[in-house]
Amino acid sequence: MNIFKIYKDKFILLLRNNSFDCDEEKVSIDTPRQVSFGDLAFNAPLILSSSLKSNPLEIGKKIADLIKENYSEFDTIEVAKPGFVNLKFKKEFWYNFLFSFDDSKGKIVNTSKTINLEYVSANPTGPLHVGHCRGAVYGDVLGNLLNFVGHKVIKEYYINDYGNQIHMFAKSVYARVLEIKEGKEFPVNEGLYPGEYLKEIAQSLIKKNKISNFSNYDSIKNELGEMAMDEAMIMIKNDLLSLGIKHDLFISEKELVKNNLVSKTLKILERKNCIYEGVLPKPKGNENEDWEPREQLLFKSTKFGDDVDRALKKSDGTWTYFANDVAYHSYKLDRKFDKYINVLGADHAGYLKRLKACVDALSDFKADFECKVCQLVKLFKSGEPYKMSKRAGDFITAKELVESVGVDAVRFMMIYRSNDSQLDFDFDLVTEKTKENPVFYVQYASARIHSILRKTSLDLTNIDKKCLRLLDAEIEIEIIKKLSLWSKCMDLSAKNLEPHRIPYYLYDLASIFHSYWNLGKEYPEYRIIENENSELIKARVYLLEKVLAVIKSGLLILGVSAPESM
């Protein structure tokens, strides 16, 4: 139950019934800047002052009087500069809210959408590294969140298993096979992938013995390449599983090309007059004297908001990576989702405009398409940049990170900052058992509440609402108020694709709970279950059951465990 949305709708209807015509998009109800101002802050006077050409404080007084006449649940209603109506609920409202609170149980959206969510899609030429890790967790948590609030999400991975990088990957595996079987030194400075993980792939291919003769690369390169790619994807899927991630679909770029989808898609764009033969301008910053302008097949991406038109064919006549990407997005659109979301790494930020351009061209601007970019992750230990082992060659693997601090810490902290902000991952912080470690602090709240519930055997299914009125302490009302923000947190997180709001909220909720717990250590009257008033015990346990339900739901969305003991 999102009380902010409920009262916004109520107040807008009240205003319209009294000849105040306000813009729903601009009018908002939020939490006031200071707790002392109340529980709700309504900005209608400020918004209406322009159209009514009147002082917002005078408008505010009229609106405040209307609310007083029509709603009895408010203890105080005050008008504040520059043009807000601040409202504070009576305690009885909060008892009624707690009694009916069940927003932790799921669906909050009015209309369910089918959503295609593509994330990770790392090149299948090596294990996932820390750079992939953040986008992987963000995408997975976002999918969990959208499913939780009532949408139907298909989690998808696009396998870039076509092109020169795959050829070089196959050659790299071949070189490792010769290194193992014949003792040949691995070539350097030939553009091959140097990671030690290639030895594991080579060993697996040798063990399976499907290729008996490795004397001639050209004669086995296709079979070797396919087998090596299968092994690489097994490795990536295992890395994803170590992060608690499982996709619904894996789409192969190679299969799209093999099925001639690129040519079919470009014919669609040709019919839309979006393709032409032309010459691209010299790239900015390109000082290569050998660069020459040449005519090539181009997509009119500038027609759809891009900075330059984009090449669809290379000089050797093969499709560009972008051409294959256009075909892939055409395939997405053919499956007719209500919304399409791509999660990209920081190194793909410059790719957003061309992706949006191709989707707009193919869908005639009808597709709801959005890209989210996850910024870089920096690792720190003891205040210094931290370098773990480099099994992968030149980067730190996601698997190593999980093995070092645990999957719960990785998932929670990777989502603990907005995706468009750089994230500093502090190894010391995430292994501390203190309030400063948000993962520990939230999970510790779960464990503490479970410990309380184990000591009681109360059946609260038919609790008397009057019993809840015993929750009279200021901190108990504060906890109820924090529970009232949960639905709003999910609303905003899902609407804006900002799942980082959830761990923030959980940390705040856990902090209030721990303060409540600690009060009981100092003052006997605050002890949750160690007092003589059985009705008060019931009320407090009922409150904590609601807190636990939200913590469990939030951690479920994050893919983090809610321990019963620690």
**Residue 24 confidence (pLDDT):** 85
The CATH number that domain 120-246+381-431 falls under is 3.40.50.620
Helix (H) or strand (E) holding 380: strand 377-381
C-alpha pair distances (Å), 534 with each of 145, 523, 548? 38, 18, 21
More confident residue, 533 or 403: 403
509-523 residue pLDDT tens: 999 999 999 998 888
- Looking at CATH, the fold of the domain delimited by 438-558 is given as Isoleucyl-tRNA Synthetase; Domain 1 (1.10.730)
Q: Taking 70 as the threshold, does the pLDDT of residue 388 lie above it?
A: no
Q: Where are the domains of the chain?
A: 3-89, 120-246+381-431, 259-283+292-374, 438-558
Strand partners, 341: 117, 370
| 1 contacts: CB under 8 Å, gap ≥ 6 | 97, 100, 101, 102, 103, 484, 487
Q: How far is the C-alpha of 326 from the C-alpha of 306, rounded, in Å? A: 14
Average pLDDT rounded to a whole number, residues 175-200: 88
**What CATH architecture is 3-89?**
2-Layer Sandwich (3.30)
**Residue 392 confidence (pLDDT):** 46
DSSP 8-state code for residue 124:
T
**Residue 45 confidence (pLDDT):** 94
Helix (H) or strand (E) holding 50: helix 44-52
21-25, 158-162, 417-421, 422-426: least confidently modelled range: 21-25
What single string gives the DSSP state of each residue in 70-90? H---EEEEEEETTTEEEEEE-
281 pLDDT band, cuts 50/70/90, is confident
**Residue 391 confidence (pLDDT):** 47
More confident residue, 337 or 535: 337
pTM, rounded to two decimals: 0.92
Average pLDDT rounded to a whole number, residues 25-31: 92
Select from 306, 300, 303, 352 the least CA-distant residue to 329.
Answer: 352
Helix, strand, or coil (residue 377): strand
Average pLDDT rounded to a whole number, residues 124-138: 90
**Residue 464 confidence (pLDDT):** 86
Average pLDDT rounded to a whole number, residues 331-347: 95
286 pLDDT band, cuts 50/70/90, is low
In the numeric block, which tokens belong to residue 314?
């290379």
